Amino acid sequence: MKAGSQHSISEADLKVMSAFGVKHVCGTLPSRLLDETWSTAALTRLRERVESHGIRLEMIPLPLSSLPIERAEMPNIMLGRSPERDREIDQICEMIRNVSRAGIPAVKYNLSILGVVRSERTPGRGGASLSTFVYEKAKQEPPLTAAGRVTAEMAWERIEYFLQRVVPVAEEYKVRMACHPHDPGMPEPQGFRGVSRVLGSVAGLKKFISIRPSPYHGLNFCQGTVTEILQDPDREIHEVIRYFGERKKIFNVHFRNIKGRYLNFQETLPDDGDVNMLRCLRTYRDVGYDGMLMPDHVPHIEGDTGGRQAFAFSFGYIQALLQILRTEG
């Protein structure tokens, strides 16, 4: 396992990552649509620029982010509108081909309508402002998104349609596709704002990886999001890691902690939550996971512009845990 990053790959930030000992990164989105920045030549130049710092470009995001559907880069895939979704899927397939030709081994993506849902922020350690979700306090206004009512059956049809078209291309070009869970999970069948979040439960994630079995179809395993869907996160997370890890479906890990549980949680710095992160690391080791562990969703701290200090703290924490693991053999 190794520390990773999913943020800026500017020259200045690559120098910082190199100084932190972070030698593996996920890049940033080249552009929202298929254009010159997605060409094989441009992606190759990007990879070579990252490598010039002694860092490996392990992954790059597709324009299928965690934005709400109203601002999504390619909304028709999850709106289920044809022929528009077919054109968007064709673009995704070409991006995957070019990523492979450029020597980048993986992509990450979301299949979301709601985006990341939170209620009002709450105070944490030292007066930090914590991203928080309390289902009863989260605003469901307007009651429906631009997608209207989306049942579980409708959501699965759209996800399956996408996977059946795209995974064969990923297989052919040997690019691993890492999908992020829905953040956070919601009660079913009511969902949230009329949308069923089928990738917001462990059962849903199990179904997802079984739709189109392939070594190139797996998860951007956000440990924070997964613990958010559990009733007893510190106890239950290890069984979930083992299930997906033993099946080699964990392609990347967002290594973050929470206080709380399903439908009521705060996002914390990695040492300040309810989950024993060292024990989690040992579970990843035990299932043979050897990919990146990256910080995610840090608290807002007064005077910490852009969360840079909070992320630096998190990188150091991850590196320290990895050092402990190495001493254990």
How confident is the prediction for the chain on average, in pLDDT? 97
d(CA 129, CA 150): 33
**Per-residue model confidence as pLDDT tens digits over 259-307:** 999 999 999 999 999 999 999 999 999 999 999 999 999 999 999 999 9
pLDDT band at 70 (very low <50, low <70, confident <90, very high): very high
3-class DSSP state for residue 266? strand
Among residues 293, 223, 222, which one has the least CA distance to residue 58? 293
Its domain, for residue 305, covers 2-328
Do 295 and 314 contact (CB within 8 A), yes or no?
A: yes
Q: How many domains does the chain have?
A: 1
Q: What angle do CA 210, 195, 155 make, to 5 degrees?
A: 30
Helix (H) or strand (E) holding 177: strand 176-179
pLDDT greater than 90 at residue 7: no
Give me the mean pLDDT over the 56-84 stretch.
97
Residue 15 in tokens = 């120098």
**Per-residue model confidence as pLDDT tens digits over 181-229:** 999 999 999 999 999 999 999 999 999 999 999 999 999 999 999 999 9
**Per-residue model confidence as pLDDT tens digits over 97-117:** 999 999 999 999 999 999 999
CATH number of the domain at 159, please: 3.20.20.150
d(CA 80, CA 72): 13
**Per-residue model confidence as pLDDT tens digits over 10-45:** 999 999 999 999 999 999 999 999 999 999 999 999
